A and B are shown apart, each in its own frame.
Chain A
Amino acid sequence: MTVSTFISRARRFTAAAAVAALAVGLASCASSDSGTAAACDGDTAINGIFGEGGEAGGQGVTVKVGMLLAMTGSGSSYGEVMSNGAKLAAEQILAACGPDFEIAIGDHESGSVPAAVAAARKLISQDGINVLQTSFGGVSEAIIPLVQQNKILTLQGGGTSPGQIGKDYLWNTRQLFADPSIPGGLAWVAQTYPEATKMAVVGTLENGINAQTKLIPEIWPEVAPGGTVVLNEQHEVGLTDFGQIIAKIQSAEPDVIWIFEQGGDNATFMKALRRAGVTAPVVSSETGGEEVCKLAPEEFDTVIALGENYDVANPNPFNEQFVTEYKDAYGKNPDIFAANYYEEMFVFWELVNRVVADGGDPTSGEQLQAALAADPTFQSVYGGSADEVGTMSIDEETHLPVKPMGAYTIKDCQLTQVATITEVDEGGDPFSGVSK
């Protein structure tokens, strides 16, 4: 039992006691205020992209959307941005004369399985949700039987894990963490730092574990002549003292460091690393977004983000209006998680439209999933161009999405793409996965 699970158990124990009443607001489930935007004019920026709404656009239909998020605990910043993205989408869709997506949020306390199962049960049986957006790897795997039994179409945009591949009723809009970008990414590192041989790998025991312990040690020597992994360290999420790991890095003297950190751990690690005088370049498979970067902006200037990355500056019209509206509503730029849970809501809308067009029941998870499987391609805030909305498609077999990947440099917490990375089939040439 880890410290964090010990705490989360203790937390739940208390929540069950009378003191739960003290836990103001966030600890319990909260309904969204999506019903406030009563007026719709069918002439919003959204209507320009998704059509004018109305009866064919699901107007008058109420769909209850559950969200299973980290609202408390060490990952609560994820829960906030994910719910922000979804709430904004629900408001925009209602204002665009689309269906009324009513949001109910359940808290999995940053990855506690018992909390997740209890929250999912409540969402299904008490809140009567029709569809679900889930997050985190372990807890989402745990609720798969529940969503399958109750035929709840579930979209996962935050923590795709091997246990969530190809599952009935569960569709991923985020790629398997890190894995697809590793071969091309390593090839890019080898090209960019031709002198580098010694690599250190640091990360949590979460979704990056396959990339960390298997892919990198296998592929790095292939792409870098004389390449070795000199240090491979795992730690718990939410570690506050990196002293021990930094000491090992100093001792191992790597030429390049590859990290798989979650959220704020990125900032903690980068601060500790640079303050200890280690100057080796750092490649991060998940940078944790802009808010995390702002905790250590100077240190992040030395990080290369690699993999699936959401680009705030993408001029695709769907994305442009999203960024503008999101900033208006929440005062900061959206990150990958805000974007994923935002566009998942539009996936739901598209599916409702399809079911309505076929004369079906748009609140039936079974019919919604059939509509998804029939044509799993959707408009997206990723990709596209200034003139064209991007698209995102989900593989029918694996239920994994295809999204653009890249290598990005960071300056003042803004990403600039320096290379495009594509997935390489197993055994394929890693260098085929890089193009500048």
Chain B
Amino acid sequence: MERSEKAQATTDRLVASNLVCGYGKHSVLHDVSLTVGAGEIVTILGHNGAGKTTALKALFGLLPLQSGVVIHDGQNITKSSTASRVRGGMSYTSATSAIFRDLTVRQNLELGAFTVRDSKVRAERLARIHDLFPVLKDRGSAVAGRMSGGQQRLLSIGLALMSGAELMLLDEPSLGIAPSLVTELFESIRALSRDAGLSVVLVEQNVGAALPISDRVYYLRAGEILLSESADEARARDDWWELF
């Protein structure tokens, strides 16, 4: 409850300022600042290699920052571990390994709620996710890696929701799934945001699918934020590729 008070105290759920980060001595992000409000869906657009995935990993604490500050719900989490960020309501869904492929669907979802000690809370969340994505209930004992690409994506979202995330970092959720499913998936993300106040940072190549559900857009090029604008403005552009 403490957190919701804080969330009210500050309009922004996440504030990242001047992030510099990279692998070894080679820095990939030079100066990245962004904010995400409660219930807001923010999309980062950019070319391959622009640093989109690096930005998500940096926000989640998977890569150590060289400099910069990350504030989550009013708390400075710049030096916090990944585990404590998860407990604080943040989740990260990787583009390439977002689920435990060798484990069952049920085990995956259980692991999503690893930081939740209260078994009643875990059961409630599981029930909610089963409502949202009935296929995850039906195929509970299936080996996750043997399901279709779309089902695996749903599972990855379910896994993130199991942790009780209020801020989701989603890397390329449309990767490898059928176009018809992409719209469906993005609609359910939009619904979660609208109904449950979920905040989302979305990294997406499929700009056409991402923009309709986004509130705001950041353009990232060569590790720097080039521009930030509302999604409506972005949709109005017909030349946004030039920004890259």
A and B directly contacting (CB within 8 A)? no
Chain A residues within 8 Å of B, Cβ to Cβ: none
Give residues in B with beta carbon < 8 Å to A.
none
